[in-house]
Amino acid sequence: MKSSLKSFWRDNRSLFLFLALMFCFRSAIADWNDVPSGSMKPTLIEGDRIGLNKMAYDLRIPFTHISLCKIADPARGDIAVFDSKAADKRLVKRVIGVPGDTVAMQDNRLYINGKAITYTAAAGGDWLEQLPGKNHIVRIDPNAKTYANFNPVTVPADHYLMLGDNRDNSADSRVIGFVPRSEFVGRSRSVVMSLDYEDYLLPRAERFFHRLE
């Protein structure tokens, strides 16, 4: 039995080493992440698989959230992935408020540090939201009021205020509260591939390697 195990290991150790390195790479350096819901429409749609830079914010021990070295902090406008304890699942949202910011929302219009964010009409009835240093498209339903307002809140140290681009259909910081920095997994800047859930999982070629704003 022992000789058989040794022989099996000798014959397959290169494969095992490759698999171990691949899993470590995906855990700590780069991976992709499925987009299961429409909370980030129109930026992301169901069936997208986004590239995930896991070293954008920290160098971590593989398979853990233990940071060996902080590389950068999440920046306003980033599309970030985080493991939310409050929601008990992994989420993809946009960074809106960073530590020390005071953020409010009135009729789906943001105010950051007392300044109203500018919105201009975009194609398809969407809106261009002009965050400081970052413009991106958001989807707003003028008839929806459930999440359209919140009073000024100050983002505490080591926490972030996260919102979905599909503002009236996103369980984000308006539901789960501020997101601790320790829960961040990484940042995404592109769609790697996309499959159409409503059309037999056929690929959406036009979204392959699509750059995210």
Domains of the chain by residue range? 2-211
Q: How far is CA 82 from the centre of its chain?
A: 6
Give the Cα separation of 86 and 119 in Å (integer).
31
Q: How far is CA 175 from the centre of its chain?
A: 16
28 membership: H or E segment, kind and range: helix 2-28
**Would you call 39 a catalytic residue per the annotation?**
yes
- Joined tokens for residue 47: 């069936």
Q: Enter the CATH code of domain 2-211.
A: 2.10.109.10
Under 8 Å between Cβ of 112 and 101 = yes
Q: What local confidence, expressed as pLDDT, does residue 9 receive?
A: 62
Q: 39, 84, 170, 188: which one is catalytic?
A: 39
Q: What is the mean pLDDT of each run of 10 residues along the chain (213 residues)?
A: 65 70 74 91 96 95 91 97 96 98 96 96 94 93 87 98 96 97 96 90 92 90
Pairing, β 30-34 against β 48-53: antiparallel
Give the Cα separation of 169 and 167 in Å (integer).
6
Q: What local confidence, expressed as pLDDT, does residue 16 receive?
A: 65
> With the C-alpha atoms ordered 17, 82, 46, 51, is the resulting torsion angle positive or negative?
negative
**CA nearest neighbour of 101 among 111, 93, 92, 90:** 111
Q: What local confidence, expressed as pLDDT, does residue 18 receive?
A: 67
Q: 41, 54, 84, 93: which one is catalytic?
A: 93
**Would you call 93 a catalytic residue per the annotation?**
yes
